[in-house]
Amino acid sequence: MGKQPLDRDYEEIRKRITNRYNNRAEFFSHLVAYLVVNGVLWMFLQPSGTWFTIAGIFSGLWGMGVVIHFIQYVMKEAQERAIEREIERERAWRRGSGELQDGEIKRKRDRLTLNHDGELIEIVEDDAPVSRRR
């Protein structure tokens, strides 16, 4: 029973990594197919005629598809990085740690208090004891 949360985390992490790998593989296979088919197509065409025009339209439209696929791939990667960054920020906030790590935030409520007039004031902590400051 103790291994169930670990197995669930493992499966979730594996699924996310597999999805990222599949997105990358799909884009690069699309790009290779485009380059190979268009390379062969343009190698056998004469620079004039109807087939040349049709091949140009075909290559242009498919090229736009490759560009769109590239944009989707980049956006998915950026989304994953943003999600990971936010997860780490949320973990840091929940821990309430006073130490800042790369990309972490510090909760302000640990340093702020209300004065007698109801205004927020920042608590400044000094390393020196109060008796030494005088």
Q: What is the DSSP letter of 116?
A: T
Write down the domain spans for the chain. 4-99
Write out pLDDT tens, residues 78-113: 998 898 899 888 888 888 754 555 554 555 556 677
Nearest 10 degrees: Cα torsion 17, 23, 29, 31: -140
Cβ–Cβ < 8 Å for 65, 27: no
What whole-number distance in Å separates Cα of residue 95 and Cα of residue 92?
5
Tokens representing 39 are 């390379």
Question: Rounded to 5 degrees, what angle do the CA atoms 60, 29, 58 make?
Answer: 15
Write out pLDDT tens, residues 7-46: 777 888 888 889 889 999 999 999 999 999 999 888 888 7
What is the pTM assigned to this prediction?
0.58
